[in-house]
Amino acid sequence: MATVKDYMDKNDNVRVLIDLTPDMESIGIFNKELYDGMLHDIPEKFQQLKVVSEGWLMGKQCNKLYVIKEKEYVIEIQETLSKLVSVKAASEADAIKKVKEQYSTGDIILEAEDLKEHQISVYHETRHKEKEQEERTL
């Protein structure tokens, strides 16, 4: 996505209207006018905003830029490693205990080829707290 500064560098000094849109789906609906003036006079504080749409306003005879203010997102990447291990034991519980011991001492190591799936999603603090609580109850 180009910035307002990129647009300024590539275009002549013409009249321009700049509207801030809250998100990509709201272009032209829930906008706040930020600037109405000559392109090369745009204040520096608006020059790093990302241009998501541009056009020409016939009625006002000027260029129209829709910009969006980028937000900070925390993205969580989860990988699931899985390996089948065979162990002799008197019971399932004993087998699990033996494998846990082997895993914690480093006798069993999960490696890159054991990757079964991955998931990338927006990190939500509440979801993280729920997971921690769930793990504590196990």
Residue 138's pLDDT band (boundaries 50, 70, 90)?
A: low
Highest mean pLDDT range out of 6-10, 23-27, 53-57?
Answer: 6-10
Residue type, 33: E
Q: How confident is the model at residue 127 (pLDDT cuts 50, 70, 90)?
A: low
Residue 24: partners with Cβ closer than 8 Å, 6 or more residues away: 52, 68
Q: Residue 42, class by beta-carbon neighbours within 10 Å (0-12 exposed, 13-18 middle, 19+ buried)? A: buried
Task: Give residue 129's pLDDT band: very low, low, confident or very high (50, 70, 90).
Answer: low
For residue 121, which of 109, 134, 131 has the smallest C-alpha distance?
Answer: 131
Give CA–CA dist 126/20, Å, rounded. 30
Domain layout of the chain by residue ranges? 4-68, 75-137
Element (H, E) at 56: strand 50-57
**CA–CA distance, 53 with 26 (Å, rounded to integer):** 11
What confidence tens digit (pLDDT) does each residue in 39-84 have? 999 999 999 999 998 988 888 888 999 998 888 889 999 999 999 9
Q: pLDDT by residue (tens digit) across 93-126?
A: 999 999 999 999 999 999 999 999 999 988 886 6
